[in-house]
Amino acid sequence: MTERYVWDLQEIDATQVAVVGGKGAHLGGLSGIEGVRVPGGFCVTTNAFRRIMAEAPSIDDLLDQLSRTDPHDREAIRTLSAQIRRTIEGVAIPGDLAAAITSALARFGEQVAYAVRSSATAEDLPTASFAGQQDTYLNVVGPTAILQHVSRCWASLFTERAVTYRQQNGIDHRTVHMAVVVQQMVFPQAAGILFTADPVTGNRKVATVDAGFGLGEALVSGLVNPDVFKVRDSEVVDRTIAAKQRVVHALPAGGTQEVAIDAQRQEQPALTDAQVVRLVQLGRRIEAHFGRPQDIEWCLVDEGFQIVQSRPITTLFPIPEAGDQENHVYVSVGHGQMMTDPMKPLGLSMWQLTAMVPMHEAGGRLFVDVTRRLASPASRAGLLGVLGKGDPLTRDALETVLDRDDFVPSLPDAGPGGRPAGGASAPIETDPALVTELIERSQASIAALERDIRTKTGPALFDFLLEAFEEHKRVLSDPLSIQAIMAGMEATWWLNDKLHEWLGEKNAADTLTLSAPDNVTSEMGLALLDVADVIRPRPEVVAFLRGVGDAEYAEDAVFLDELAKLTGGAEARDAIEAYLDRYGMRCVGEIDITRPRWRECPTTLVPVILDNVRNFEPGAAERRFEEGRQKAQRKEQDVLSRLRALPDGDRKADETKRMIDRVRTFIGYREYPKYGIVSRYFVYKQALMAEAERLVRANLLPEKEDVFYLTFQEFHDVVRSHQVENQLIQQRKDAFRSYHALTPPRVLTSEGEALTGAYRRDDVPAGALIGLPVSAGTVEGRARVILDMAEADLEAGDILVTAFTDPSWSPLFVGITGLVTEVGGLMTHGAVIAREYGLPAVVGVEQATRLIRDGQRIRVHGTGGYVEILP
């Protein structure tokens, strides 16, 4: 059977990406929608491209070189990609292939003008648009010119931008193939782009139309500003008419030309409101056909619209599935838990099964539906009060939604809305023995879990775990534990409010909480200083640790065994082992059970240990804790003596002393429940990974980490049935990879609108980056922008700038002088530990890791809540 190299667009549907590429498949799909006009044409298939590649023997060698090239080496990529393009364009199109293309042209007319358009197999996909990565040629006339431009389209698979995009997205160059769409040119009065969802806010109910005169190239290339129309419910709700000074027209002999527009026409709208509404209705039909919001290229020809492209909008954050048509408001869990990265399905489902409230998944992140709590006045006030104390941006985003009177329904108060944040203290004694009792209870529960899980395997393990999750939730909801946490937080708020009112002091509690007892997270940072003390006097061990990054010690046993062979290595290993016994269940992003724990990959700690060896003297942990304790004590004496000098001073001083004792008793415990959760998680994980290893031994899975892409229930089903859907696992891997490109919003509505909130403040210097003040003081220093703790390389005096910190980052806190994060609130872990260590800190600074460059000098105003970038 002879190979078929050319397919008519009418023969193609959206499933044939492998044969005709993303653009070709979408155009074929569009051609089949009733009422949608698509310019006629055909597609030169990927088989033709493969044949051309096979005719160029040097291509294999060039692709090998390209795959080995560092994605950041722009010069090497530029040189190699140009060489590949020249090679492809140099291959003569075989006679039978050229004949197939020219005979297709004859059906439409050889001297008709065509658009010749690249259509790669990794293009216009639901998870990656590749928009603008390959080339399009307009107004191409005559068979010779068309064959030449088909070759150019094949070669454009290797433009520098396309190659870089694939490398950054982890896509193998050999797996992507190029088809070419050859389509009759249309010569429009106006052209542009229709987004069936607002590309800025994400709102799925609002369509946006960009329009300009002539060919759409003027808009795509940025030559002119478009007219912009916004449409909701078949009505234009907003319009901006631009002065359009240039237009791109097609030339009779081929090619295009840029022309100036008459002055009187420049500010006329390119479309009437009625045309805009008609276009959006057409767009909604296309969106319904493809099942997701679309980015559509359109042309207005003789009062009718022709569609020349439609692709999914890949930048929109997905909406949680609600199963009804009601309005919903969702708050991000990740912003509260200091982990805004996507989670794998097993991690998501485990957190959902062990959480105290129902949670909804979207884009690999978790959200809580707060619609009902916003609907009644009392619960709304309580929710906004608590969120406002913790993260003003979330509160502001929710208030933005509430300002739209009709979005959240109003319900009568169902009952008491909870004590307003910062109100009267919880009825609990200020007694350190209570904290000791709570910690012992938690430890006993974890010890029982470790004992009972040992004998459980197969389906019985999953049944046991479902019971263990109930115990997990019982421990979390222990009323005494919640009272202890609230007592510490409310005493902090009381001290800050009253000492500001009475003494004019901002954030006085920050100093009063220094070196508070029983804080498992701050103890973790100091304990790593003690590990450094064991390693520092052993030069052979230090040299070995410096080389660890270059060795293949992914397995902890190998790394620690090698360490023990050195002079002084056994003592170093024992110190690290003891640290891991207490803290080895922790890691970055620890709410996701699938993340590698320090116990599983202890080399993660090596950079921090080496920083501590370099930057500190022996005995630093004990010294630092004692310095903090004394500073807090001096602050207490100073505050109390100043209060006694005021009118009614003895009463004020006595009340303040009670609150200081209260905050020092309970604020450290604030960190313990999370430690308990993560300890339990590690026990669950070890049992589940033993189960995954059995599936690998039974040849049901290629590798044990594949279970991370199953939910807990699906994992249970696989263990019970011994049947695995490998295709599902692959789809989940692809989806997870795509979620990394999405920025999760603090607040998301059921219409898809993503809200990040704003600070309403005018008390900061011009040009400063605004955030939330969480730990008092001012510090200047070198910014170290670190996104991965394993890549930390800190000098004394550095200021850590990062996206978010969870407890696993606290070992870094002992070596820095200040902290700036993009995510965080007053009572999140980074804020609590910054106060413990006396580090000026500002959190919730939007895009801090992009706006502050690594190595820049910055000034952190921990009391005022802003960051200055210094010259």
Q: Which residues are catalytic?
A: 829
Cα–Cα distance measured from residue 782 to residue 792, given in angstroms and rounded to the nearest whole number: 14
Residues 6 or more apart whose CB falls under 8 angstroms from that of 462 comprise 712, 715, 716, 719
Cα–Cα distance measured from residue 152 to residue 163, given in angstroms and rounded to the nearest whole number: 16
What amino acid is encoded at 301 in this protein? V
Alpha helices in 338-457 (DSSP H): 345-354, 371-375, 377-390, 392-402, 432-453
Alpha helices in 32-158 (DSSP H): 46-54, 59-67, 74-89, 95-108, 143-155
Q: At what angle do helices 620-644 and 479-503 cross, to 10 degrees?
A: 60
What does DSSP say about strands 799-802 and 778-785: parallel, antiparallel, or unpaired?
Answer: parallel
Cα–Cα distance measured from residue 71 to residue 69, given in angstroms and rounded to the nearest whole number: 6
Length of the chain, please? 871
* Ordered DSSP codes for 784-852: EE-S-GGG----TT-EEEES---GGGHHHHTT-SEEEESS--TTSHHHHHHHHHT--EEE--TTHHHHS
Cα–Cα distance measured from residue 398 to residue 410, given in angstroms and rounded to the nearest whole number: 15
Locate 651 and state its tokens. 């009463």
Cα–Cα distance measured from residue 823 to residue 757, given in angstroms and rounded to the nearest whole number: 12
Single out the residue of 279, 311, 321 nearest to residue 298, CA to CA.
279
Token pair 């045309």 in the structure block, residue: 275
Are 202 and 754 in contact by the 8 Å Cβ rule? The answer is: yes
User: Which stretch of DSSP H or E encloses residue 747?
Assistant: strand 747-749
**Any idea what DSSP says for residue 105?**
H
Phi, psi of 592 (to 5 degrees): -95, 110
**Any idea what DSSP says for residue 37?**
B
Provide Rg for the chain, Cα atoms. Answer: 31
What does DSSP say about strands 841-843 and 304-312: parallel, antiparallel, or unpaired?
Answer: unpaired
Beta carbons within 10 angstroms of residue 101's beta carbon: 20
Q: What angle do CA 295, 300, 305 make, to 5 degrees?
A: 65
State in Å, rounded, how far the first CA of the chain is from the last one. 71
Cα–Cα distance measured from residue 393 to residue 420, given in angstroms and rounded to the nearest whole number: 19
Sheet holding 329-332, edge to edge: 360-362, 365-369, 329-332, 747-749, 754-755
Q: Give the 3-state secondary structure of residue 226.
A: coil
Locate 190 and state its tokens. 């106006």
Single out the residue of 411, 841, 827, 790 nearest to residue 587, CA to CA.
790
